[in-house]
Amino acid sequence: MRPLGLIVLLSLAGCGGRWRSAIKAVQSQPAVQESGIEPYLRATRVGRWTYECREVGRGDIAPRTYVREANLLGTMEGKLLGREFLPIEQYLRLPPTATAPAEANPPQAPLKGGTAFMFELTEPIDPYPPELAAGQPITSTSPIRYYDYDGRLLSQGTLTRTAQIEGVEEVECPAGRFPDCLRLRVDFTLHLPWLIRLDWSSYLWLSTQVGEVRRLEHMSGWFWILWFSGTHEYLLVSSEVPAAGPGAGRTPPPRWRYGAVVLNRAIPRPQIGGLVVDFTTSPASAPATAPPDSPATAPVRQGLGTFPVHAFGL
């Protein structure tokens, strides 16, 4: 084997080893059975969170700051947080329908910087199903369309999500110590034939007070014939989460519908640089596209300040 090939193989083996070590550390902790996750999810739906993100096993790389803002209409995070976005659907060159002819020149999505793409889920998916119960994993699959930053369709495939409750633990992070955090395991598998196979696995720790306080995630797979693998940890530094209002518990859970992603790095160690997701709260059997006067099709949004948080009793 040529020296370069050996170096690549050793590097990839090291990435997998770091993730296996991280998993072993997580799974060695005691897990307490817990049923009902709505109180934990409620704290993740509206607010602003600042994290310290580090690449696991790479002490030579300084941690970076990663910020997420969300409400019931969508989420914005990372380097895309400060950019103005129309609803993601308006940037896509969607197939024409009887009521919506194809648009020849849709607006340009503000995705400059890094590797960027957009996606559309035919059947919206909630990453954290509110009906989850201990010992009962839930799996959902949706057709997915993959677009470049110009909104041109590149490929179609499937996205499968499996979520499960793993227990309740105490978490210590820069923001403080949080007892009784719910630990979830969420796995996404993206398959775009002849283009990409992605496995994205995450452990998440959720607090009823401030939402997500820790995340350990690993992305690996193939892009054409090129292998990639990367493991990152996010620790909460600070949060701004409003107190729940009287209507919070009655609000339908948001599900991912459209999204835009920017990567700081792609191959061989992918790293998410920014993410924008538009939710839908429509029933699974109803059309996912919101009517023209829906809040989901507001003219422009830029950060949490333009989201009508009060409309949901939060």
Domain limits of the chain?
3-312
Token pair of 226 as six digits: 């090129």
Query: Does the pLDDT of residue 116 top 70, yes or no?
Result: yes
Query: Does the pLDDT of residue 214 top 90, yes or no?
Result: yes
Query: Does the pLDDT of residue 34 top 70, yes or no?
Result: no
What distance in Å separates the CA atoms of residue 142 and residue 161, rounded to the nearest whole number? 9
Among 119, 122, 112, 46, smallest CA distance to 88 is for: 119
Q: What average pLDDT does the segment 105-112 reach?
A: 88
Convert the pLDDT of each residue in 63-91 to its tens digit. 999 999 998 889 999 999 989 999 999 99
Among 23, 44, 4, smallest CA distance to 253 is for: 44
Q: 147 near 157, Cβ under 8 Å? A: no
Which 3 state secondary structure label does DSSP give 88? Answer: helix
pLDDT at res. 180 = 94
pLDDT at res. 17 = 58
Task: Give the model's confidence band at 103: pLDDT under 50 very low, under 70 low, under 90 confident, else very high.
Answer: low
Cβ-Cβ contacts under 8 Å for 68 (sequence gap 6 or more): 48, 49, 51, 75, 76, 77, 78, 81
In one-letter notation, the amino acid at residue 236 is L
Q: Where are the beta strands (DSSP E) in 37-137?
A: 47-55, 64-71, 74-78, 115-125
The rounded mean pLDDT for the chain is 80
Q: 261 near 272, Cβ under 8 Å? A: yes
What distance in Å separates the CA atoms of residue 210 and residue 193, rounded to the nearest whole number? 39
Token pair of 139 as six digits: 């799996």
Query: Does the pLDDT of residue 295 top 70, yes or no?
Result: no
Q: What average pLDDT does the segment 113-125 reach?
A: 92
Strand partners, 260: 118, 276
Torsion on CA atoms 303, 305, 308, 313, rounded to nearest 10: 110
pLDDT at res. 289 = 39
Query: Does the pLDDT of residue 154 top 70, yes or no?
Result: yes
Q: By mean pLDDT, which of 35-39, 117-121, 130-134, 174-178 is the weakest?
A: 35-39
Q: What average pLDDT does the segment 191-214 reach?
A: 95
pLDDT at res. 38 = 87
In one-letter notation, the amino acid at residue 174 is P
What distance in Å separates the CA atoms of residue 118 and residue 93, rounded to the nearest whole number? 11
DSSP one-letter code for 244: P
If one compares 48 and 134, the residue with the highest pLDDT of the two is: 48
Residue 94 CA from chain centroid, whole number: 23
Q: 164 near 138, Cβ under 8 Å? A: yes
